[in-house]
């Protein structure tokens, strides 16, 4: 059955509208991608090209002296291990507290679960401030203690709410069946909830790990012992003090700074491809409850 002139006009108008929208969408996403990717490429080029200046995306000379100098600098070994320790321990601790807290918040039969959810949400809107937090950490005797970094940086309201939304999307019939079979609430959490929550665990774990790996302010405020400085703090102090410059090799500060940025970013660039499929699913699946 053919279309009349009015229907053909409406169809053509709708087709042009969709085409223009797709063109605008691709142009916007392309611009955003360039804004994110081009600075990374420039940093990588600056780290291997001693002659680089301005905006250059292709190196004329490839020289890995900056990376060699960073690797050979023994003063960076301990801070690197401190960063790994805080990231691993903090991620495990954060996932444990976040998942258990989110599991409690979805228990509709528990008195006060709505009030608890509102209190968790309130922490995203109101904060005690820097000075009260510092005084609290000091009065608890946590100065120069890794707990002063791990606990505040690994547990957050946003991750708890994200995990709660994901848990709420899991059918409740599974837990009813587990209860009939004699499974305890903790057993249901361990045997049913966690195995089904790999996408959410990967997403929240990546959020926590990236935050801990890049943490700077908490180490400056609460860790005064040089032996417990993390990689970011140590690298910054060495650059400011010109501690990365050697006597036999003279490198530009921009080359050294770019190389340290790449070294800091590389670990998660290597990890992300392995959790990407879980990350995308985990962020979107809990957004709408089925």
Helices (H), 2-76: 5-48, 65-72
* Spatial distance between the Cα atoms of 229 and 84, rounded to a whole number of angstroms: 12
Residue with tokens 């509208």: 17
The per-residue pLDDT of the chain, averaged, comes to 79
Per-residue pLDDT of the chain (290 residues; tens, 9 = 90+): 455 555 555 555 566 767 777 888 888 988 888 888 888 888 888 888 877 666 777 778 787 888 888 788 788 888 889 999 999 999 999 999 999 988 888 888 788 878 888 888 888 888 778 888 889 888 988 898 899 999 988 988 888 888 888 888 888 777 778 778 788 878 888 888 888 888 888 888 888 998 899 888 899 989 888 888 888 888 777 766 655 555 344 556 777 778 888 888 888 777 777 776 666 655 555 454 44
- Residue 279: what pLDDT? 63
* Spatial distance between the Cα atoms of 44 and 37, rounded to a whole number of angstroms: 11
* DSSP state at residue 43: H
Domains of the chain: 1-63 (no CATH), 73-285 (1.10.3720.10)
What are the residues whose beta carbons fall under 8 Å from the beta carbon of 170, sequence distance 6 or more?
Answer: 192, 193, 196, 197
Do residues 39 and 216 lie in contact, with contact meaning Cβ atoms separated by under 8 Å?
A: no
For the chain, what's the residue count? 290
Helices (H), the chain: 5-48, 65-72, 77-105, 113-125, 130-139, 147-154, 157-168, 173-180, 185-188, 194-196, 198-213, 217-222, 231-240, 253-285
Give per-residue pLDDT as tens, 225-269: 888 888 888 877 776 665 555 534 455 677 777 888 888 888 877
* Spatial distance between the Cα atoms of 178 and 174, rounded to a whole number of angstroms: 6
């Amino acid at each position: 059955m053919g279309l009349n002139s009015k229907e053909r006009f409406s169809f053509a108008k709708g087709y042009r509208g969709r085409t223009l929208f797709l063109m605008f969408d691709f142009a916007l996403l392309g611009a955003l991608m360039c804004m994110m990717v081009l600075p990374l490429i420039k940093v990588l080029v600056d780290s291997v090209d001693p002659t680089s200046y301005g905006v250059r995306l292709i190196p004329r000379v490839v020289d890995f002296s900056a990376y060699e100098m960073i690797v050979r600098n023994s003063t960076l070994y301990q801070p690197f291990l401190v960063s790994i320790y805080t990231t691993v321990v903090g991620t495990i601790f954060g996932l444990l507290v976040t998942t258990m807290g989110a599991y409690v918040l979805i228990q509709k039969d528990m008195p006060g679960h709505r009030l608890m959810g509102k209190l968790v949400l309130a922490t995203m809107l109101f904060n005690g401030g820097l000075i009260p937090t510092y005084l609290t950490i000091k009065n608890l005797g946590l100065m120069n203690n890794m707990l002063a970094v791990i606990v505040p940086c690994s547990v957050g309201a946003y991750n708890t709410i994200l995990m709660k939304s994901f848990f709420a999307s899991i059918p409740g019939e599974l837990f009813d069946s587990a209860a009939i079979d004699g499974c305890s609430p903790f057993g249901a959490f361990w045997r049913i909830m966690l195995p089904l929550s790999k996408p959410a665990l990967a997403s929240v774990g990546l959020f926590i790990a990236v935050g801990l790996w890049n943490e700077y302010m908490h180490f400056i405020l609460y860790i005064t012992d040089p032996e417990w400085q993390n990689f970011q703090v140590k690298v910054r102090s060495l650059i400011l003090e010109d501690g990365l410059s050697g006597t036999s090799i003279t490198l530009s500060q921009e080359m050294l700074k770019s190389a340290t940025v790449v070294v800091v970013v590389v670990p998660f660039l290597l990890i992300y491809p392995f959790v990407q499929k879980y990350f995308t699913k985990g962020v979107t699946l809990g957004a709408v409850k089925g």
